């Protein structure tokens, strides 16, 4: 019997070593990462202003900050996953804005747009020891707000090592703050721009609201997220597309990227969609190839039985004047060759119908008549009357909310910095009881709120008829 227990102990020990345990994720609060002001940096007098665009997270897995084995190389104590409680773009944006202020570069009306792309933010054990290492890698770009031309680009790396993952990652952000503070290449931008004949606006002390209005951010009440947050649903997937500027020099779809960014925040921070399950495609990242890759293969590879799917599009639509077919216009789309360069709604609905998902919602802040607004048309062609409800075959598990009907145009809501339809869709999610605790959306109830609001503002402020549409057989069920 003694031999039996001893053998069992040995076998158990071996099996435990061969099959490491996966520990619960270690969550790092975003507030723990905010770096303090570098003590040796002296704030300068105001030099010029920039428009700070929303930063983007370019990592493939945005929901995870690190993953490593407890004992390093060859250890079997279990895998540790490091996650963040909120979107870490907040940390990067705050870090850079504070650094700019200390340099005398303020936020306000400007010919310069500053953009940030997070390329790396990770923490983990080194391969051969228990030492924790962290790196944060940020790329900053400045473009001309009038032409879109690139003016300046630079990458910054912050790194740290230690024992505790939270402290180590916070120290890496502190190191990044020092690196950004110590770089003075932006200070020469003012002189270079003036020497080339450019004229900078005068720096004026303005209210926070005026500054926000100037940069088209956080002006709207719906940009402030509601405090309620649904339980995270690992089977919820979304593709969010916003195209404001087009390669073919089409008219701008004003606020389309802002629409998409805020919708993505609602999904991940309010409705329980995991960040790693949400694909956001903006402007040149939303080409025809990107549409095919994510709306086709990515969804098929990821969506499983009983999953929920949310598809959102803000940008131009276009008709085929000959057939009357409706198309979404990718970044590289050309209305003159819309069959070849556009993405047809019938193709989209056909692909969605192949998914094993239980519920699929499509929200389109676009129009397809070619009459203006968020629609475009081949040169020389005339706008047409489209009846989406009759022309499209919508699968049984798909519900569609469209911003406008037939020959109507989809308007922008200037004072709210959103598309008119998107603003009231977000307003309904925020202020009405349409989101369940599990993150499911009562699409029928939401549409009941959105439709009269959009019609009223379009009629009163724009002397325009805009009637949103609701299509699909499950319009009254939660989505």
| DSSP classification of residue 305 | T
Is residue 4 in some structural domain?
no
Ranges 37-51, 182-196, 361-375: which has the least confidence:
37-51
Is residue 272 in some structural domain?
yes
Measured CA angle at 78 (ends 75, 83), to 5 deg: 120
pLDDT for res 210 = 37
pLDDT for res 70 = 59
Reported as a pLDDT band with limits 50, 70 and 90, residue 295 is very high
User: Domain boundary at 150, 175, 210, which?
Assistant: 210
* Phi, then psi, of 472 in degrees rounded to 5: 120, 155
Is residue 420 in some structural domain?
yes
Reported as a pLDDT band with limits 50, 70 and 90, residue 193 is low
- Report the C-alpha gap between 170 and 160 in whole angstroms: 9
Domain count, the chain: 2
Q: Over 60: is that where the pLDDT of 337 sits?
A: yes
Between 67 and 6, the higher pLDDT residue: 67
Query: Cα separations (Å) of 313 from 118, 149, 198, 353?
Result: 24, 26, 36, 18
- Judge if 119 and 195 occupy the same domain: yes
CA 360 to centroid of chain Cα atoms: 19
- Report the C-alpha gap between 142 and 148 in whole angstroms: 9
pLDDT for res 310 = 97
Measured CA angle at 159 (ends 157, 160), to 5 deg: 170
Is residue 222 in some structural domain?
yes
Q: Over 90: is that where the pLDDT of 443 sits?
A: yes
Reported as a pLDDT band with limits 50, 70 and 90, residue 201 is low
Q: What is the pLDDT of residues 384-404, one digit of tens each?
A: 334 454 456 788 889 999 988
- Report the C-alpha gap between 136 and 467 in whole angstroms: 46
- Judge if 274 and 334 occupy the same domain: yes
Measured CA angle at 116 (ends 206, 331), to 5 deg: 105
Measured CA angle at 295 (ends 404, 352), to 5 deg: 70
Burial class (CB in 10 A: 0-12, 13-18, 19+), 146: exposed
- Judge if 108 and 153 occupy the same domain: yes
pLDDT for res 477 = 47
The average confidence (pLDDT) of the chain is 79
Is residue 418 in some structural domain?
yes
Q: How many other C-beta atoms can be found within 10 angstroms of the C-beta atom of residue 42?
A: 7
Could you tell me the pTM of the whole model? Answer: 0.57
Q: How many other C-beta atoms can be found within 10 angstroms of the C-beta atom of residue 265?
A: 20
- Report the C-alpha gap between 416 and 51 in whole angstroms: 18
Are residues 386 and 326 in contact, defined by beta-carbon separation less than 8 angstroms?
yes
- Judge if 220 and 193 occupy the same domain: no
| Secondary element (H or E) of residue 71 | none
| Secondary element (H or E) of residue 291 | helix 288-291
- Judge if 410 and 357 occupy the same domain: yes
What percent of the chain clears pLDDT 90, i.e. is strictly above it? 28
Between 474 and 164, the higher pLDDT residue: 164
- Report the C-alpha gap between 199 and 186 in whole angstroms: 17
Q: Over 60: is that where the pLDDT of 315 sits?
A: yes
Ranges 132-136, 367-371, 446-450, 457-461: which has the least confidence:
367-371
- Judge if 26 and 131 occupy the same domain: yes
The mean pLDDT value for 455-465 works out to 88
- Report the C-alpha gap between 223 and 263 in whole angstroms: 9
Residue whose C-alpha is closest to residue 422's, from 407, 412, 436, 434: 412
Reported as a pLDDT band with limits 50, 70 and 90, residue 92 is confident
283: tokens are 């402007």
User: Domain boundary at 189, 210, 231, which?
Assistant: 210
CATH of residue 102's domain is 3.40.50.10610
Reported as a pLDDT band with limits 50, 70 and 90, residue 106 is confident
Alpha helices (H) along 224-324: 256-269, 288-291, 299-302
Q: What is the pLDDT of residues 374-387, one digit of tens each?
A: 445 444 333 333 44
33: tokens are 């990462």
User: What's the domain range around 168?
Assistant: 21-210
- Judge if 96 and 178 occupy the same domain: yes
Is residue 11 in some structural domain?
no
Beta strand 469-471 with 412-413 is unpaired
CA 160 to centroid of chain Cα atoms: 28
Is residue 410 in some structural domain?
yes
- Report the C-alpha gap between 421 and 461 in whole angstroms: 14
Longest dimension (CA), the chain: 93
pLDDT for res 157 = 93
Is residue 15 in some structural domain?
no
CA 65 to centroid of chain Cα atoms: 18
Starting from the edge strand earliest in sequence, which strands make up the sheet with 317-319, in order?
Answer: 317-319, 326-328, 343-344
Burial class (CB in 10 A: 0-12, 13-18, 19+), 8: exposed
pLDDT for res 68 = 67
Cα-based torsion angle of the residue sequence 212, 98, 52, 265 in order, rounded to the nearest 10 degrees: -80
Query: Cα separations (Å) of 144 from 50, 108, 187?
Result: 10, 14, 16
Q: What is the CA radius of gyration of the chain?
A: 25
- Judge if 294 and 199 occupy the same domain: no
Q: What is the pLDDT of residues 33-62, one digit of tens each?
A: 767 654 445 556 677 888 888 788 888 777
- Report the C-alpha gap between 67 and 352 in whole angstroms: 33
- Residue identified by tokens 């409706």 is 326
CATH of residue 296's domain is 3.40.50.1460
pLDDT for res 379 = 44
């Amino acid at each position: 019997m003694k031999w039996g227990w001893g053998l069992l102990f040995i076998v158990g020990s071996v099996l435990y070593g061969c099959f490491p345990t996966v520990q619960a994720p270690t969550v790092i609060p975003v507030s723990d990462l905010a770096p303090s002001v570098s003590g040796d940096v002296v704030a300068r007098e105001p030099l010029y202003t920039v428009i700070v665009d929303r930063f983007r997270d370019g990592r493939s897995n945005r929901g995870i900050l690190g993953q490593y084995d407890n004992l390093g190389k060859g250890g079997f104590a279990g895998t540790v996953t490091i996650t963040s409680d909120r979107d870490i773009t907040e940390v990067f944006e705050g870090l850079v804005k504070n650094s700019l202020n200390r340099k005398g570069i303020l936020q306000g009306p400007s010919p310069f747009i500053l953009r940030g792309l997070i390329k790396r933010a990770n923490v983990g054990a080194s391969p051969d020891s228990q030492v924790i290492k962290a790196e944060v890698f940020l790329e900053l770009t400045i473009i001309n707000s009038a032409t879109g031309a690139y003016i300046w680009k630079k990458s910054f790396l912050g790194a740290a090592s230690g024992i505790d993952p939270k402290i180590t990652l916070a120290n890496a952000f502190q190191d990044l703050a020092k690196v950004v503070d110590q770089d003075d290449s932006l200070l020469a931008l003012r002189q270079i721009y003036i020497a080339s004949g450019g004229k900078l606006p005068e720096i004026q002390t303005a209210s926070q609201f005026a500054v926000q209005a100037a940069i088209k951010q956080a002006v709207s009440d719906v940009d402030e997220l509601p405090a309620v947050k649904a339980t995270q649903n690992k089977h919820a997937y979304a593709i969010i597309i916003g195209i404001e500027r087009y390669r073919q020099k089409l008219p701008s779809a004003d606020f389309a990227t802002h629409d998409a960014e805020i919708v993505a925040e609602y999904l991940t921070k309010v409705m329980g969609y995991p960040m790693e399950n949400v694909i956001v495609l903006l402007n040149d990242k939303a080409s025809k190839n990107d549409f095919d890759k994510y709306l086709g293969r990515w969804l098929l590879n990821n969506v499983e039985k009983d999953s929920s799917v949310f598809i959102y599009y803000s940008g131009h639509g276009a008709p085929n004047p000959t057939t009357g077919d409706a198309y979404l216009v990718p970044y590289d789309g050309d209305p003159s060759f819309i069959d070849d360069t556009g993405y047809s709604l019938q193709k989209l609905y056909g692909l969605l119908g192949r998914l094993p998902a239980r519920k699929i919602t499509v929200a389109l802040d676009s129009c397809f008549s070619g009459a203006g607004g968020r629609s475009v048309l081949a040169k020389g062609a005339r706008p047409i009357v489209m009846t989406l409800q009759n022309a499209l075959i919508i699968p049984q598990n798909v519900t569609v909310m469209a911003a406008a009907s037939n020959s109507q145009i989809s308007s922008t809501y200037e004072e709210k910095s959103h598309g008119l339809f998107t603003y009231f869709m977000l307003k309904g999610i925020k202020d009405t009881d349409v989101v369940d605790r599990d993150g499911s959306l009562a699409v029928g109830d939401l549409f009941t709120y959105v439709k009269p609001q959009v019609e009223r503002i379009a009629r009163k402020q724009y002397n325009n008829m805009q009637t949103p549409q609701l299509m699909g057989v499950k319009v009254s069920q939660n989505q």
